[in-house]
Amino acid sequence: MGEEHRYLFIDFEFTMPEKSGRYKGFYPEIIEAGIVSVSNDQIRDKFSSYVTPVRFPILSERCKSFLHISQEQVDQGITFLELIKKMKELSGNYPCTIITWGNMDMKVLRNNCQQVGLPFPFKGKEIDLSMEYKRFFGDQNQTGLWKAVQEYGKEGTGKHHRALDDAMTTYNIFRLVEKDKRYLEKPEPTTIGERVDLSKLLNKFA
């Protein structure tokens, strides 16, 4: 069989423009990455780092206050190229299943790769767990990550809007949802033929 199938639970934090600011050509860039690599139901690796933005290197006040990330932290972060290399390494260059909460993480990663001319680092299936959760529970609206955890009567891991903590929380919800799915996959009900001995029944009428 070789390599076990890998699941990567990923969360990114991105740059944000000032509400009033006119950032010409602004697009969100990854400034923090959290990745949890899982195979055989075991956490194999965890990765967390700040990332230096390329196009808009100076963080907006709104971004700093919302995410509690300082300019110094991103200035000392790894480059986007180093992040791509790390993600390839974590995937083992095999097709793996990428799981995120919401579809923004992969959209921003794809766009960031395009902007700097780097190939997208992943092969394999991408799952937006918030949509799975919505379908599974029949919710009208998409639920926020930490609200979803609380609906399970649990607490999120660490701090919300810390990339690795959010990636771990996504992994924990994935496990809870999978467990519930298995619980709901009850065996097929028995047919009437199995419950009633038909031969006895037919003899009666013979």
Catalytic residue numbers read 13, 161
CA distance 167 to 100: 8
Chain-centroid distance of CA 57 in Å reads 26
What is the dihedral angle through the alpha carbons of 147, 31, 107, 44, rounded to the nearest 10 degrees? -70
For the four alpha carbons of 10, 14, 19 and 22, in that order, the dihedral sign comes to negative
Tell me if 37 sits within 8 A of 43, measured CB to CB: yes
Q: Which two tokens stand for residue 91?
A: 């995937």
